């Protein structure tokens, strides 16, 4: 079972990955975006980890709801409301349970991804974070590791696509040949689930 502590570790692991990969995310965002994706997410996830360390919420749902709210208010770019909505809706779907199982997380994350699709209007193939998140949710029923692989493959598969959402879409065909920064950071978020669960091995995750 996954408790509030697991979800705090997930957010902490995501923040660490974003820190580690910030330069790469910003570099990916340079040719087709406005070169701020890494630094924007760094600011957001630092705010999340600071708040979670200061006053740890008691339930999985509350951890994600608070993290989402903070991302919306601190990121400053489109990824703030998108990731914020993803986590907040996932958190709301988990409700007040003190512990959830991996299947419940998969279902909640599916609701979160649906909310992101509704907010941004992106569909699979539009060269957005959706291209990493949708396959990740599909694979989450198997294992976190499978979800990570699916998300990473989904992110890599955005390279030949033409962007149809966001600033990159103004570039038309010139957006082809670049891996989408949002799909790349989404894969980091999913991969952080593996990091968070690695720390629980032995206590019956």
Partner 1 sequence: MSEAGLVGIVLVSHSAAVAASVAELAKGLAGAGTAVPVAPAGGTESGDFGTSAELIAAAAASVDRGAGVAVLTDLGSAVLTVKALLAEGDELPEGTRLVDAPFVEGAVAAVVTASTGADLAAVEAAAAEAYAYRKV
Which residues sit at the interface with partner 1, rule CB under 8 A?
34, 36, 40, 69, 72-73, 76-82, 84-85, 88, 115, 119-120, 166-167
- Complex with partner 1: residue 44 or 154, whichever CB lies closer: 44
Q: How far is the CB of 18 from partner 1 (least distance, A)?
A: 17
Looking up tokens 């608070």 gives 66
Q: How far is the CB of 172 from partner 1 (least distance, A)?
A: 17
Q: How far is the CB of 22 from partner 1 (least distance, A)?
A: 17
How would DSSP label each residue in 119-162? Answer: HH---TTSSSTHHHHHHHHHHHTT-HHHHHHHHHHHHHTTTTSP
Considering only CA atoms, which of 196, 140, 201, 198 is closest in space to residue 9?
Answer: 196
The torsion angles phi and psi of 2, rounded to 5 degrees, stand at: -110, 120
- Complex with partner 1: residue 60 or 91, whichever CB lies closer: 91
- Complex with partner 1: residue 61 or 81, whichever CB lies closer: 81
**Alpha helical stretches, state H, the chain:** 4-32, 37-54, 60-74, 79-94, 102-120, 130-140, 144-156, 181-198
Q: How far is the CB of 76 from partner 1 (least distance, A)?
A: 4
- Complex with partner 1: residue 39 or 149, whichever CB lies closer: 39
- Complex with partner 1: residue 2 or 44, whichever CB lies closer: 44
Q: How far is the CB of 119 from partner 1 (least distance, A)?
A: 6
Please check whether residue 138 is in contact with residue 153, taking contact to mean a CB–CB distance below 8 angstroms. Answer: no
Looking up tokens 């980890």 gives 49
Characterize 2-34 residue by residue with b for buried, 16 or more Cβ atoms within 10 angstroms of its Cβ, and e for exposed.
bbbebbbbbbbbbbebbeebbebbbebbeebbe
The torsion angles phi and psi of 22, rounded to 5 degrees, stand at: -55, -45
- Complex with partner 1: residue 57 or 80, whichever CB lies closer: 80
Q: How far is the CB of 152 from partner 1 (least distance, A)?
A: 25
């Amino acid at each position: 079972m996954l408790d509030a502590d697991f979800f705090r570790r997930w957010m902490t692991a995501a923040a660490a990955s974003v820190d580690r990969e910030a330069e790469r995310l910003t570099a990916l965002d340079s040719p087709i975006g406005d070169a701020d994706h890494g630094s924007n997410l760094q600011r957001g996830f630092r705010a999340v980890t600071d708040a979670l360390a200061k006053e740890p919420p008691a339930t999985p749902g509350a951890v994600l709801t608070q993290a989402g709210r903070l991302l919306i208010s601190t990121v400053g770019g489109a990824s703030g409301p998108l990731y914020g909505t993803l986590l907040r809706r996932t958190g709301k779907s988990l409700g007040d349970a003190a512990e959830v199982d991996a299947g419940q997380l998969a279902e909640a994350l599916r609701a979160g991804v649906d909310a992101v699709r509704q907010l941004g209007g992106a569909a699979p193939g539009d060269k957005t974070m959706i291209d990493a998140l949708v396959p990740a949710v599909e694979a989450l029923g198997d294992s976190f590791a499978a979800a990570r692989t699916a998300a990473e493959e989904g992110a890599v598969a955005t390279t030949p696509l033409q962007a149809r959402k966001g600033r990159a879409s103004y570039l038309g065909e010139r957006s082809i040949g670049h891996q989408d920064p949002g799909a790349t950071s989404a894969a980091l978020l999913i991969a952080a689930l593996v990091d968070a669960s690695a720390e629980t091995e032995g206590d019956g995750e």
